[in-house]
Structure 1
Amino acid sequence: MVATWTGEVAAPTAPSASVDAWWDASIPHDDKTARRRMSGHLIYVWWNVWKERNRRIFNLTRLTYVEVAYLAFEEITQRSLSFGLPVVGLPPEPD
């Protein structure tokens, strides 16, 4: 979902032999700027997955996967705005 909202190519969903191998398969290797951008997006997505895990364990509350993806997208957008980078239009807020 985040990849669609940001206009990026989606990361592979099939698990690799390791997280390192999956990460390498997920980012483009030909363009340094695209590689850094995609790495940042992946970090924001995984950070929000981690926060959702903690929310479920420690607060006994939960968000849907769409809400978690939207939170990651909002953080990606805020970072882009803070650095004066182009921003893709926001998707509608999840229900």
Structure 2
Amino acid sequence: MDSNGQYTAKSAYLAQLQANDGDIQEWWDSTLKPLKGKHRRSVAAVIMYTTWNIWKERNRRIFDSNSMTAVQLVHLIQNDILLRRTACGTPFIREDPIVS
């Protein structure tokens, strides 16, 4: 919340920074720890594909002066995951709400 009592993107970002005292390894471990076996590997794969595509979009915007909409980026992530699933049979997350 900003000084006017309103939520902004900046105030949300700052609040998240203040709440996040851990590092990426701690986040990764705490996210995957409760999961087992194939489900754990599938969740890890989805996180990696999502992160990788967000990074590529960042580079596209900075170096190519080109960008996708958020919807286009989500579809690209879904497509990458579906291609991987077709080739390898994974990742598959129970009740895949994102990838259909």
TM range (shorter): 0.5 to 0.7
CA RMSD between the two structures: 2.6
Percent identical across equivalent pairs?
30
Distance, in Å, in 2 between the alignment partners of 1:56 and 1:40 is 24
Q: Which runs of 4+ in 1 moved over 2 A?
A: 13-16, 25-30, 84-91
Q: Aligned AA for 1:18?
A: D
- Aligned pair count reads 79
**TM-score, normalised via structure 2 length:** 0.64
Instruction: Indicate how the Cα distance of structure 1 residues 52 and 82 shifts in structure 2: closer, same or farther if over 3 A, else same.
Output: same
- Extract unaligned runs of 5+ from structure 1: 1-12
Whose radius of gyration is greater, 1 or 2? 2
Alignment of 1:1-95 (within 5 A): 15=20, 17-85=22-90
**Which of structures 1 and 2 has the larger relative contact order (alpha carbons within 8 angstroms, sep 6+)?**
1
Tell me how far 1:71 sits from its aligned partner: 0.8
- Extract unaligned runs of 5+ from structure 2: 1-15
